[in-house]
Chain A
């Protein structure tokens, strides 16, 4: 047994005598040459469990129990010995490669550091070894890449470098904490394959942490499902996926939008667990009802283009076409999905529709016809009126609400600006009813954003848009930052609101499965142009472009018995 965690408890001291228990008695084993996945929603204690192995927790953490590394209890090991273990025997890869690499050193320098420090290699030997490592993690032209800085690489390449650094001292155990969450689906697939390949080649073990059970099914041998700091279920991956015992595991498996079948609603953890307890669950499986294909067109985009000025030389500037030649029609009550990898221009397009770019950054072209007017040419005053009717929800619910405003202030502000409702009392009433509509109770009104979870904040952001009675809602990666289970709740909410208010959505996402769930028509974008445009069913059944096929293939499909 490589690592054995026995009855691990972790608590954080919060101020005077207050202990917040994050992990409440967790036990599991990691045998040699095995991938163990820790799965759970945010706040389930999965990261805390993993970080306590090497004691990478903040100072106010208190651990008890036993963590046996090859029979030796790491909780009793002095820091000096632990430091020798870190990186050499047990290595870590974190979620965000962008912030894990030091921007002022070249990739080669950063790779050589652990080699020289831990293995005592000479400079030239370290360089050679680093180059070999870069090749091993699949970076093309490793020799040239040794001299590049982190910002010159893409997110996926940066994560590969992080993995190469972790592998530098040939660790026996690799702890990967959500290593693909910040990456595009296609890159995620590559990283998963890389991890799988390295595991078999080097005969090491991996502790893989993720909130996405579907993803885990593809890579893990053993799965540990955690919730609220405890283990709900653990066992070999086949058992978990084919015969899940625990209600929570079943719910997690059900809530991810899949490519097969298109239900009207996604399963939500609570529904599912309630259903499992013996209440009726028949209504959830109803198929999505067809939409009126002749609904009036609310938004029409013709040859939309947006460029940015790039500085060149001392005074010169060059036009960079971020987006060009985009055409689509959006009908009332319909959803247009926009898919693409990061850098494909999908967000730029969304912001261009709303005119949220700073005008002096670059020119726009084409026409955006909304309510009989071209949004790109109307005056500032007319645009103010238009703002009411076309609204946006951003990706990061932690950043899109003003932390100094109460939820009430946040909701009242747009109504005050546009003079909706008569008087404050009326507006407050409206704000409260909207809060209830998005599934928060009226008590939220006086609270501040930091008191809410990500999913709840996203609901507030949606409610803020709804205060203005918009016709079109641009959802810019609105569910990408959320856990799979919370994502399902917000997607359901969006569908309900669409049915109730006849909203039209422009749904921007990198996740084709999510887009497929909510959209009627899909635009696939790459490098600022539309490569494929078809109905959601068609894209899924018969993708024409290679790029679309790649995106489809990259979606995690959960566990498949080896065939």
Chain B
């Protein structure tokens, strides 16, 4: 027993540093199988996004590679259109050159067109995940859409987190007049129905990816603000913060060096939820025509197109967009949850 102890001690003193908070969090995270799988999925998505933004994957998503509305491969090609809808007339052929004013020039045009080579582009009957009404590959569209949707979600969440955390920290830590003012701003934002607020901002900022990010961030920081504020109010009178004050730590140091790391799990989880929410919000915005530009594609624009396709029974674009979105959003939320469990200092004491 004592031998074990001393060996342990020697090891400890050699290392001099024990497991850091982040190390411990990573160790707990690894133990959470669901969290780990969702992390792998999210990382895979991020890799896909990197590839697509450099053009290595789905760079030619605009190319019309299939026949319009080509069905997915596993469904098989669409049945040939019933050509017999109009019956061929049974009477003898009639020479129309007498009445067709252009008839004399047909010969000439034919001669001229022979000077150019024409190749019949063979359009695929089926595509791995089908094609849209222009014959564009739905899979490529979904990949390209992932790039934009996730970028919008993550960027907007980052900006909203920054705004919410800063305001929440100031409002919660100082309280008083500043707290009242921030509460007032918060109430103004909260009192307007969310979708109306988004429309109002969209009308001012205009379309485009950056605009969507700005719109979502400016309207979505309120929940974060409220939660961070509550945490700061709770922590500012904790003894460890008091102790920091007693040794003379400045307000900024207490706010961001002492309290913020201790509430970071709240911020992280909220950010995860915001990302998920913003991805969905972008879909709605694009669906309503307030989102990304027409020459760009996002999950939202795909869903918007799918609406008219569904009537004709072309379900694959809807399925592709939904599948990508569902997998990413679920994985991202589960990852945020696992992260919270791994980082929460309250849970650590129970080990």
Which residue numbers of A lie inside 8 Å of B, CB to CB? 14-15, 354, 356, 360, 384, 387-388, 391-392, 394-396, 399-406, 413-414, 417-418, 442-443, 445-448, 450-451, 461, 464-465, 468
Assess A413 versus B249: contact at CB under 8 Å? Given A14-B351, A404-B345, A450-B348: yes
Q: Are A402 and B248 in contact (CB under 8 A)?
A: no
Docked CA distance A445–B17 (Å): 7
Docked CA distance A392–B253 (Å): 19
Assess A448 versus B249: contact at CB under 8 Å? Given A356-B242, A399-B240: no
Q: Are B245 and A356 in contact (CB under 8 A)?
A: yes
- What chain A residues lie within 8 Å of B19 (beta carbons)? 448
Assess A402 versus B247: contact at CB under 8 Å? Given A394-B239, A446-B17: no
Q: Are B349 and A414 in contact (CB under 8 A)?
A: no
B62 interface contact, C-beta 8 A: no
B47 interface contact, C-beta 8 A: no
Q: Are A399 and B239 in contact (CB under 8 A)?
A: yes
In B171-197, the 8 Å CB interface with A consists of 176
- What chain B residues lie within 8 Å of A400 (beta carbons)? 239-240, 242-243
Complex: chain B residue closest to A404, CB-CB: B261
Complex: chain A residue closest to B262, CB-CB: A404
Complex: chain B residue closest to A397, CB-CB: B239
A215 nearest CB across to chain B (Å): 26
**A–B Cβ pairs within 8 angstroms, 9 of them:** A394-B242, A394-B243, A400-B239, A402-B258, A403-B262, A413-B244, A414-B247, A443-B13, A468-B247
In B4-25, the 8 Å CB interface with A consists of 9, 12-13, 15-21
- What chain A residues lie within 8 Å of B253 (beta carbons)? 417
- What chain A residues lie within 8 Å of B242 (beta carbons)? 356, 392, 394, 400
Q: Are B16 and A413 in contact (CB under 8 A)?
A: no
Docked CA distance A15–B351 (Å): 9
A418 nearest CB across to chain B (Å): 6
- What chain A residues lie within 8 Å of B239 (beta carbons)? 394-396, 399-400
Q: Are A445 and B248 in contact (CB under 8 A)?
A: no
Docked CA distance A360–B21 (Å): 36
Docked CA distance A465–B21 (Å): 24
Of A360, A391, A403, A451, which contacts B247 at CB under 8 A? Answer: A391
Assess A360 versus B176: contact at CB under 8 Å? Given A399-B238, A404-B261, A450-B348: yes
Taken residue by residue from 19 to 51, chain B's Cβ proximity to chain A (1 for < 8 Å, 0 otherwise) reads as 111000000000100000000000000000000
Docked CA distance A395–B238 (Å): 12
Q: Are A387 and B247 in contact (CB under 8 A)?
A: yes
Docked CA distance A313–B9 (Å): 62
Docked CA distance A399–B17 (Å): 22
Docked CA distance A404–B20 (Å): 9
Q: Are B243 and A387 in contact (CB under 8 A)?
A: no
Assess A392 versus B246: contact at CB under 8 Å? Given A360-B176, A404-B21: yes
Which residue numbers of B lie inside 8 Å of A, CB to CB? 9, 12-13, 15-21, 31, 176, 238-240, 242-250, 253, 258, 261-262, 345, 348-349, 351
Interface centre among B9, B15, B244, B253 (most CB of A within 10 A): B244
Assess A391 versus B246: contact at CB under 8 Å? Given A404-B262, A450-B348, A450-B349: yes
Docked CA distance A401–B244 (Å): 9
Complex: chain B residue closest to A474, CB-CB: B246
Complex: chain B residue closest to A446, CB-CB: B17
Q: Are B248 and A414 in contact (CB under 8 A)?
A: yes
Assess A464 versus B243: contact at CB under 8 Å? Given A384-B248, A387-B248, A388-B248: yes
Complex: chain B residue closest to A444, CB-CB: B18
Docked CA distance A464–B246 (Å): 11
Q: Are B16 and A446 in contact (CB under 8 A)?
A: yes
A522 nearest CB across to chain B (Å): 24
Docked CA distance A395–B239 (Å): 9
Known: A388-B248, A443-B9. 5 other contacts (CB 8 A): A392-B242, A403-B262, A404-B261, A413-B247, A450-B349
Q: Are A443 and B16 in contact (CB under 8 A)?
A: yes
- What chain A residues lie within 8 Å of B20 (beta carbons)? 406, 448
Interface centre among B246, B253, B258, B261 (most CB of A within 10 A): B246
Docked CA distance A442–B19 (Å): 16
Of A443, A446, A447, A461, which contacts B243 at CB under 8 A? Answer: A461
- What chain B residues lie within 8 Å of A360 (beta carbons)? 176
Q: Are A402 and B244 in contact (CB under 8 A)?
A: yes
Docked CA distance A77–B247 (Å): 56
- What chain A residues lie within 8 Å of B15 (beta carbons)? 446
Q: Are B21 and A356 in contact (CB under 8 A)?
A: no
Of A384, A394, A448, A461, which contacts B21 at CB under 8 A? Answer: A448
A353 nearest CB across to chain B (Å): 11
Complex: chain A residue closest to B21, CB-CB: A404
Q: Are B240 and A448 in contact (CB under 8 A)?
A: no
Complex: chain B residue closest to A399, CB-CB: B239
A337 nearest CB across to chain B (Å): 21
B181 nearest CB across to chain A (Å): 15
Of B9, B18, B246, which contacts A451 at CB under 8 A? Answer: B18
Of A405, A417, A443, A446, which contacts B248 at CB under 8 A? Answer: A417
Of A387, A392, A417, A448, which contacts B18 at CB under 8 A? Answer: A448
A342 nearest CB across to chain B (Å): 16
Docked CA distance A405–B245 (Å): 15
- What chain B residues lie within 8 Å of A402 (beta carbons)? 240, 244, 258, 261-262
- What chain A residues lie within 8 Å of B244 (beta carbons)? 402, 413
A106 nearest CB across to chain B (Å): 27
- What chain A residues lie within 8 Å of B240 (beta carbons)? 399-403
Complex: chain B residue closest to A351, CB-CB: B242
Docked CA distance A465–B245 (Å): 12
Docked CA distance A384–B246 (Å): 9
Interface centre among B15, B16, B176 (most CB of A within 10 A): B16
Docked CA distance A405–B16 (Å): 15
A406 nearest CB across to chain B (Å): 8
Assess A15 versus B31: contact at CB under 8 Å? Given A387-B248, A446-B16, A450-B349: yes
Docked CA distance A414–B351 (Å): 31
- What chain A residues lie within 8 Å of B12 (beta carbons)? 443
Q: Are A445 and B349 in contact (CB under 8 A)?
A: no
- What chain B residues lie within 8 Å of A461 (beta carbons)? 243
- What chain B residues lie within 8 Å of A447 (beta carbons)? 18
B187 nearest CB across to chain A (Å): 19
Complex: chain B residue closest to A476, CB-CB: B239
- What chain B residues lie within 8 Å of A448 (beta carbons)? 18-21
- What chain B residues lie within 8 Å of A418 (beta carbons)? 247-248
- What chain A residues lie within 8 Å of B258 (beta carbons)? 402, 405
Q: Are A464 and B247 in contact (CB under 8 A)?
A: yes
- What chain A residues lie within 8 Å of B245 (beta carbons)? 356
Docked CA distance A400–B238 (Å): 7
B259 nearest CB across to chain A (Å): 9
Complex: chain A residue closest to B264, CB-CB: A404
Assess A392 versus B243: contact at CB under 8 Å? Given A402-B258, A404-B345, A448-B18: yes
Complex: chain A residue closest to B351, CB-CB: A14
- What chain A residues lie within 8 Å of B18 (beta carbons)? 406, 446-448, 451
- What chain B residues lie within 8 Å of A401 (beta carbons)? 240, 243
- What chain B residues lie within 8 Å of A391 (beta carbons)? 246-247
B280 nearest CB across to chain A (Å): 33
- What chain B residues lie within 8 Å of A394 (beta carbons)? 239, 242-243
- What chain A residues lie within 8 Å of B261 (beta carbons)? 402, 404
Docked CA distance A357–B246 (Å): 11
Q: Are B246 and A356 in contact (CB under 8 A)?
A: yes
Docked CA distance A465–B246 (Å): 9
B98 nearest CB across to chain A (Å): 94
- What chain B residues lie within 8 Å of A446 (beta carbons)? 15-18
Docked CA distance A496–B124 (Å): 89
- What chain B residues lie within 8 Å of A387 (beta carbons)? 246-248
B197 nearest CB across to chain A (Å): 31
Closest A-B pairs by Cβ, 5 of them = A446-B17, A414-B247, A400-B239, A387-B248, A404-B261
